[in-house]
Amino acid sequence: MGGMRQPEPASEHSIARQAPAHDVSWAIERVAPALPLKMVCLPRALAAWQMLRRRGAPARLHFGIVRTNPIQKQAHAWLDSCGVEVCGYPEAFDCVEIGYFAGSV
């Protein structure tokens, strides 16, 4: 029968796949504010991307423009992996995506 697929219940396998994304998200959010430089969205997303890559986890790096200020364009970057919002959220919800880079292992 056609139609949308029902989401699969969380399984041990999917939880295990999400673990690196949760760990990296936690690390980025804890360390970035303590650094002596301002870690804005792009350096955070790139650092998280590399950390996930080293752990063999797939990730998607998104690039977009914030839509709430049409006069002054402001770019934003965010990252997700295995259904986990790693960094750049919730600001990403106010953006129009203009491109992304998806990597796999």
Q: What is the pLDDT of residues 9-31, one digit of tens each?
A: 555 558 788 999 999 999 999 99
The rounded Cα 70 to chain-centroid distance in angstroms is 24
Annotated domain spans of the chain: 12-103
Please tell me the distance from the alpha carbon of residue 28 to that of residue 86, in angstroms, as a whole number.
9
CA distance linking residue 58 with residue 68, whole number of Å: 30
pTM: 0.79
Tell me how crowded residue 80 is: count the other CB atoms within 10 A of its CB: 22
Per-residue pLDDT of 49-100, as tens digits, reads 999 999 999 999 999 998 877 777 889 999 999 999 999 998 888 888 999 9
